[in-house]
Amino acid sequence: MTVNLIYFSIMGFSFRQIMTIFRRAAYSKYNTLSGSELVPPISLLVPAFNEEVTVIENVNCLLTLNYPTYEVIVINDGSKDNTLGVLREEFGLEPLANPDIRQTIDCQPITAVYHNPQYPHLYVIDKPNGGKADSLNAGINLSHYPLISSIDADSLLEKDALIRMARMYMENPEETVAIGGDVRIANGCVIENGAVKQVSLPRKMWPMFQATEYLKAFLGGRIGWSSINGLIIVSGAFGLFRKDYVTAVGGYRGGYPGEDMNIIIKLHRYMLENKVKYRIAFCPEAVCWTQAPDTYRILSNQRKRWGRGNLKNMIENFDMAFNPRYKVMGLLTMPYNIIFEALNPYFKITGLLALIGYTMLDMTHWRILAVFWLINFLSGYVLSIGALLLEELAFKRFSKLSDLCRLLLFSVFKFFGYAQLGGLWRIQGHIQFMRNNNSWGTMTRQSWGDKSVAGKRETPAEQAKTA
């Protein structure tokens, strides 16, 4: 009951913020900023490992954003496929003789930096494999601007996503150290020229379950946590950071998954220990579309990896938990994540086994089990409905009634097997952590063209000719 009370409290904070978000999303003059010299320049960092089927569409998308001054830095992290080759061929890239690299943060040595003056804001780093965190650190060392944004190579940004993020930053640039964007499932959507032209839900079961999860986590959860400055994660798929503070905390932590959570925890710790007023915000109207795993094997690998990363971060930063020095992070966010995220599967298993044992020993009645399950089901389902209501109040991305019905239906289905699998995957991730298993797991990508009704993909140069 305690966890449900916390869930509903966070959802309540989200509803309290939703009208502000709606007005900002609907009436903000963000379009007038797209040509303004006052908008801070941004370096977009795109780690890429074995992303040859998606990276071109991703870069084409990033090169055509509605933003005045920015650069795109793709970091080829020792890919075993032809990621570097397709980038060089598509954009005519050649190695720079003397790239301007500042070794601000430790990372694997950079082999080469590729550039083409015809694409003045595009750089490609080639380096040995060191993991996503190491790639981001390499990108920071090459970056030229005071704000950095991390973006996954299998993701697509909406054209106005960056300018919406920058508008939120400009509201309070002195205190804002990081902003997270909203991540949505692109499976099933119609993709044309690196942009989502028609929003639709996935047709496969596994991505559909994840679509319901993402709505609940981002709209029902992160809006609320950010409103009390207790956000513990900015998704690695899309986030904005002040480079000076990321550098001050030593950059991203390599060697283990969960680097997106780790950098946020380090920023909270740094700002609180140095008594600097700050905020880590969430901008739900800045949307990034990502490919979700569509098979059991890939999804389970991803969730085990998330479980390892979460446990590692909780162990490393356990001293913050229940510590008033760290304010909301210490008294609410960290205890919540330790008890109700890292340890939650064990509580569920032991609680279920205890109830079954009581029933078998005739110490309780099966009706009590049924009532217990029904309360948990209804509370979880109400939270899912709340997230969908937030979506409909502020964003209305799903134009078809059938999509809304499917979301409601799968929000029910996930309690019959999928939620239990989530707990199992988390426990398996913890076992991998104890065994020092740091494997990433095989992640297979689909070409964006596989989900597009468009014909030939256009490059930014071709788009400019037809504009």
DSSP three-state, residue 26: helix
* Residue matched to tokens 């799903």: 398
Cβ burial, residue 312 (10 Å; 0-12/13-18/19+): buried
Mean pLDDT calculated for residue range 341-368: 79
Residue 270 predicted with pLDDT over 80: yes
DSSP three-state, residue 147: strand
Q: Which residues pair with 178 in a beta bridge?
A: 241, 280
DSSP three-state, residue 119: coil
Q: Are 224 and 14 in contact (CB under 8 A)?
A: yes
Residue 193 predicted with pLDDT over 90: no
Q: What percent of the chain is modeled with pLDDT above 70?
A: 90
* Residue matched to tokens 């979506």: 391
Distance, in Å, from the CA atom of 467 to the CA atom of 455, rounded to the nearest integer, reads: 17
Residue 460 predicted with pLDDT over 60: no
Using one digit for the tens of pLDDT, what is the confidence trace for 76-118? 999 999 999 999 999 999 999 989 898 889 999 999 999 999 9
Using one digit for the tens of pLDDT, what is the confidence trace for 46-59? 999 999 998 998 99
Distance, in Å, from the CA atom of 191 to the CA atom of 20, rounded to the nearest integer, reads: 30
pLDDT range class, residue 31, cuts 50, 70, 90: low
Higher pLDDT, 48 or 369: 48
DSSP character at residue 338? I
pLDDT range class, residue 33, cuts 50, 70, 90: low
Q: Which residues pair with 261 in a beta bridge?
A: none
Q: What percent of the chain is modeled with pLDDT above 90?
A: 71
Residue 410 predicted with pLDDT over 80: yes
Using one digit for the tens of pLDDT, what is the confidence trace for 296-309? 999 999 999 999 99
Specify the pLDDT at position 201: 95
Hey, what domains does the chain have and what are their CATH numbers? 1-295 (3.90.550.10)
Mean pLDDT of the chain: 89
Mean pLDDT calculated for residue range 138-165: 94
Residue 461 predicted with pLDDT over 60: no
State the DSSP string of 59-75: HHHHTT-S-SSEEEEEE
Q: Which two tokens stand for residue 69?
A: 């001054």
| Rounded (10°) CA dihedral 424, 430, 436, 441 | 40
Residue 218 predicted with pLDDT over 50: yes
pTM of the model: 0.91
Mean pLDDT calculated for residue range 23-37: 65
* Residue matched to tokens 């990363």: 309
